Amino acid sequence: MIPTGEIDLLEDTWAREVPHAQFTRLRTEDPVHWHEVPGHHDGFYAVTRHADVKAISRESELWSTELGSFMIRDQSPDSLETLRLVLLGMDAPRHSRYRSLVSAGFTPRVVRRLAARIAERATALVDTAVVPGRDMDFVSEVAAWLPIQTICEMVGVPAGDERLIFDWSNRMAGGQDPELSAGKHDSDLAAAEIYAYCDALAAERREHPREDILSTLVHAEVDGDRLTPDEVNMFFVLLCVAGNETTRNLLSATLLALIEHPAARAELAAAPRDETLWTSATEEFLRWGGSIHNFRRTATRDTVLRGRRIAAGQKVVTYYTSANRDETAFTDPFTFDIRRAPNDHVTFGGGGPHFCLGAGLARTQIKALVRELLTHHPEVTLTGEVRRLRSDFINGIKHLPVRFG
């Protein structure tokens, strides 16, 4: 076993780099590693192998999100109650009942119907934002806008209010990063602002429903009861914030990977209509630069994992980033292979009830935007330092300075 203190998977590490070297060592030497959290009375087990991540994801009766949330840090009682209103923080059967309220908006059929609209948006965005020879920040000028426009329209946010959602999203998701948030108070203030915004929008939808997800939520019933305002708020935040933040980071990580692998970029640029190639490439984009580091769960009873005795109430953190580079699950996992097949990545979760609701939507947006970029601007270079988000949960890129040729 690797001694405690030699491994650091907390937020300062992620601000500097993706800790692939640490994960490689853990998978080999200590795949269920006890990780302490400085300043906190309790630590967690870091689970790094692909097979274990998938098994824990699917055994929701043994591994709960409701007992202690999906975040590494233990929460205050009030915060924990709030997080239990989010789909990510629910266990079955409650999770299944609430997920069913919005799942109809993300079915393959619905996503196929949205594909043309997404492609139009991608074309317009590239036409207006990408100027050959101009230095730009790809994150704020391109990657942020396709996902936020798409999810806001689906949920029912009025056109023109996307920048409000963008600001609230940054402050909430960037709560550990001093560039994006002034700390917990600022994140809490952003949450209060987005709740007030949602309350006003929900009140309007109660009187005048439309064909959008928010209208579905305010008129929905679970076990005969309408959703409370707090429940509607938490759905709204999950869809608007998670629905744009994760895809934004996937797009940024994808462009960085293509800059670093020019042969793959040229191959894709030369074959814009090769759907087989673009489908396998999109899966490799997802494996290579997943937007969520990990997901925490709490043991509901005493158990054993790879010889480690884990007591009821202790937490395990499954690392998707590590599982996606597991040598036992992928051939040459550190090779960026746009023709990789099969590709059993866990970027959308390892299966089970918490598998990402918007997986199909994310795939469609990534393929549309990257194809549009490479079709019209196949030459792109990095012009400055890539700056990463300080977060122990979100694998984010804050700034990606580039120049398209």
Quickly list DSSP for 4-23: TTS---SHHHHHH---HHHH
CB-based contacts of 309, cutoff 8 Å, min separation 6: 302, 303
Cβ atoms of residues 397 and 256 within 8 Å:
yes
Write the CA distances from 263 to 250, 269, 276, 286, 379, integer angstroms: 20, 10, 18, 18, 11
Bridge partner residues of 16 (DSSP): none
With contact defined as beta carbons under 8 Å apart, do 351 and 58 qualify? yes
CA distances 165 to 89, 142, 145, 168, Å, are 22, 16, 11, 5
242 - beta bridge partners? none
β-sheet bridge partners, residue 401: 137
Q: Which of 122, 64, 136, 142 is nearest to 298 (CA)?
A: 64
Q: Which domains does the chain have, with CATH numbers?
A: 92-295+325-404 (1.10.630.10)
What DSSP line would sit under 303-338, residue for residue?
A: EEETTEEE-TT-EEEEEHHHHTT-TTTSSSTTS--T
Contact 257, 336 (CB under 8 A): yes
**Looking at beta carbons, which pairs linking 13-16 to residues 24 or more positions away fall under 8 Å?**
14/293, 14/388, 14/389, 14/390, 14/391, 14/392, 14/395, 15/177, 15/388, 15/389, 15/390, 15/391, 16/388
What integer pLDDT is reported at residue 42 of this predicted model? 82
Q: Phi, psi at residue 387, to the nearest 5°?
A: -115, 125
Alpha helices in 90-242 (DSSP H): 94-103, 108-129, 138, 145-155, 162-173, 184-207, 213-219, 229-237
Q: Report the candidate in 106, 48, 19 with the shortest Cα–Cα distance to residue 323.
A: 48
Q: How far apart are the first and last CA of the chain?
A: 49
Rg (CA), the chain: 21
How many residues appear in the chain? 405
In this predicted structure, what is the pLDDT of residue 174? 93
Q: Which residues of the chain have pLDDT under 70?
A: none
The whole-number pLDDT of residue 183 equals 84
> Which residues 6+ apart lie within 8 Å of 199 measured at CB?
229, 233
d(CA 209, CA 207): 6
Q: Which pLDDT tens digit goes with each residue over 188-231?
A: 999 999 999 999 999 999 999 999 999 999 999 998 889 999 99
Helices (H) and strands (E) in the chain, counts: 17, 14
